[in-house]
A and B are shown apart, each in its own frame.
Chain A
Amino acid sequence: MSRTPLGMPGLRPGSGNLFAEEKFPSAARRELGNAQLRRNLKHATSTIRTKRLNVTGELPDWEELREAGSALKTSVMARLPELLEAFEANVTARGGTVHWARDAEEANSIIHGLVKAEGVDEVVKVKSMATQEIGMNEYLEEHGTAAYETDLAELIVQLDHDKPSHILVPAIHKNRTEVRDIFLKEMPDVDPDLTDEPRRLAMAARAHLRAKFLTAKVAISGANFGIADSGTLGVVESEGNGRMCLTLPETLITVMGIEKLLPTFADLEVFLQLLPRSSTGERMNPYTSLWTGVTEGDGPSNFHVVLLDNGRTNALADEMGRSALHCIRCSACINVCPVYERAGGHAYGSTYPGPIGAILSPLMTGVEAEENGSLPYASSLCGACYDACPVKINIPDILVHLRGKDVDAHRGGMPTQMDVGLKAASWALSDGRRLGAVEKLLPLGRAAAGKDKKIKKLPGIAAGWTQSRDIPAPPSQSFRDWWAKEHKES
């Protein structure tokens, strides 16, 4: 598929797995039909919501941490060129190599070249959104290199030849029984008596991956943070698969979006409090690894960072939307989103689902790309995401902003029912006398409602409303008319 570069000179839209190939409403309709999926999502999201509220509620300075996190990220975006240059210089000074990739294709090609240079045909992987976004596993596979996911959920998804549906718990759409069945079918040497107890399933994964960890020559990771003033990188994880990959192989390749920088090491004091509590709902995740370049006698002797643009500069150029790049991938917005809870992650098409995905994907690719223009409408604008976001990204405002871009992108074409309706409404609703005149027609609607005073079927786009809802018969007179009569005005 060819994606024509759009936007300002020098800016190019993101590529890879950032696209809704199908309009959100129809994808969501299909997913809604899966009752098991909805039960799994409801259980998982409500569990994690409760955990998050417990651990964010116990900190007396949670709001102050959010304020600091938000300001720090705003400052990073404003200072991005100098911070990127400092980061590069510091990584290099500490024995690492920095590569730059404008899009998915460039990143994949760099990574594949580095793997080939080590003379191996398999790599172990730490869960990483950046590598999902660029479709790295598929690329490497096409080029004869196997990439083994080592995070439990990513392993489940990979064994099932499925796609992740959540950025923190990619297999959230599967319940324990489904996971057991996948393991029994796809995992070589698995105990045939495996039960669906989560502990037993985790142990099966441990046994399955152990030899891979101990023999891997090359590992590929993402990064939660890159520290500009030291060149330090950080990975936050739970299972120890991250530590295995970051520590044991000779070569480590880390793929990091250019927006992941923090100015100083001390700034981790904010983000290492915000992230785990917002994410898994723990006071701290079990393991966080921080490393700077290469350390003699401890860990990989060969270290590469691939700095990824892939549409981030496109998002950065949008003054209203750029704060979407503040995202630290905690998934709190996803877990509180009522739309995600019903539709699930696959309905969004992109690697990034939920409220953040509904803004990030179209910001990175442009609203014109594929069906990404349908994503900003995938929200009732209830605002739960904004309340939950640890770095205070005003997701509802950006959703509305992107709807505006989508509407503007379609101006001049054939008007839709929505266009016609809202233009007419604008005329009627921008003048009290005009609205009053329209309200004189209320008795017509009252007559249409019939004896039970309910309207049960509407035509056109409004039919969506009456699929599950009635509309009451309108009143015999508007408030405006009532007021005029009460106050003897004409």
Chain B
Amino acid sequence: MKIALFATCIVDGMYPRAAQATVALLERLGHEVVFPKGQACCGQMHVNSGYFKEAVPVVANHVRAFESEDYDVAVAPSGSCVASVKHQHPMVARRAGHAGLEERATAVGKKTYELSELLVDVLGVTDPAIQLGSYFPHTVTYHPSCHGMRLLKLGDRQAGLLRGVKGLELVDLPEADQCCGFGGTFSVKNADVSSAMLADKTANIRSTGASVCAGGDYSCLMHIGGGLSRQDSGVATLHLAEILASTETEPAAVPGPAGQTVKVVVK
């Protein structure tokens, strides 16, 4: 299968290792990965902040980029960005009165999958330890990001994949379904409430005794990791893709709490 990678702007610029890990996983399964060069961002920061007009060129760019490449399905290591591509892009186009763009955005959205969704539903990954060689000998807790959980209805897909990683001990996160308080510009506009939500999230994470908090969205992980780092908690954040890509021969390094260390894991 030919799979187009949507790296997402935050992973592209801040956490490239999550995209590299995604490439590694897909290639390990025997698929061809392409990277549509024109891609940039899904635009949800603009949409969610009410800047619909400014979101239009961002959406148009994404649609153009993913129309210009030939592929079977597209994948992104982010529930939130995939939800934006699927749900927000047609809406932004409709609001702007671009019926043509709406139709094209809907078509792109239909072919776009969140990583765990692609692995489980399309590529049939049921046993990461065997099928992907996943090995990560650490105690891990897992934060299910809101948009993956509620907009994409990912259910148990991400946690299920983590459970199938050799050596990994998954511990339940208390109040896991509570938002971490990121919410894009919410964390800046309503910084106090956001910080209060984050404080509860990090306290819950620290109560598990896990050394790593895993997730499927680097936006939330940047937020959670930023709090864990400020608290000098010693707990790291890591993307699901990086954990799945970690193997016995090339184990992923556990980064510092703010995710500082960049250890490229590519097979």
Contact = CB atoms under 8 A, between A and B. Distances in A.
Any A–B CB pair closer than 8 Å: yes
- The interface residues of chain A, by DSSP majority, are classed as helix
Interface string B105-119: 000000000000000
Query: In this complex, which of A339, A386, A439 has the most chain B Cβ atoms within 10 angstroms of its Cβ?
Result: A339
B154 interface: no
A453 B150 contact: no
A268 interface: no
A86 B225 CA distance: 58
B191 A465 contact: yes
Contacts of A431: 38, 40, 61
Interface in B13-61: 13-17, 19-20, 35, 37-41, 43, 45-55, 57-58, 60-61
Contacts of B20: 479, 482
Contacts, number: 218
B196 A32 contact: yes
A426 B194 contact: no
Nearest to B11: A479
Given A404-B50, A422-B49, A432-B61, A480 B12 contact: yes
B230 A470 contact: yes
Interface residues of B, number: 76
A476 B147 CA distance: 29
A408 B51 CA distance: 8
Nearest to B227: A469
Interface residues of A, number: 73
Interface in A17-65: 24-25, 28-29, 32, 38
Contact of A28 (B41, B50, B190, B223): B190
Contacts of B135: none
B16 A407 contact: no
B195 interface: yes
A461 B179 CA distance: 22
Contact of B58 (A426, A442, A487): A426
A480 B188 CA distance: 28
B136 interface: no
Contacts of B195: 467-469
B16 A377 contact: no
Interface string B53-72: 11101101100010000000
Nearest to B258: A472
28 contacts: A24-B190, A25-B189, A342-B196, A379-B186, A380-B187, A381-B146, A381-B183, A383-B147, A383-B150, A384-B179, A407-B49, A418-B189, A432-B38, A434-B40, A435-B13, A454-B258, A464-B188, A468-B198, A469-B229, A469-B230, A470-B229, A472-B14, A472-B222, A475-B15, A478-B16, A479-B19, A480-B12, A483-B35
Interface of A: 24-25, 28-29, 32, 38, 338-339, 342-343, 376-384, 386-387, 397, 400, 402-408, 418, 422-423, 425-435, 438-439, 442, 452-454, 456, 461-462, 464-465, 467-480, 482-483, 487, 489
Q: 5 shortest A-B CB distances, which residue pairs?
A: A380-B183, A464-B191, A403-B50, A469-B226, A382-B179
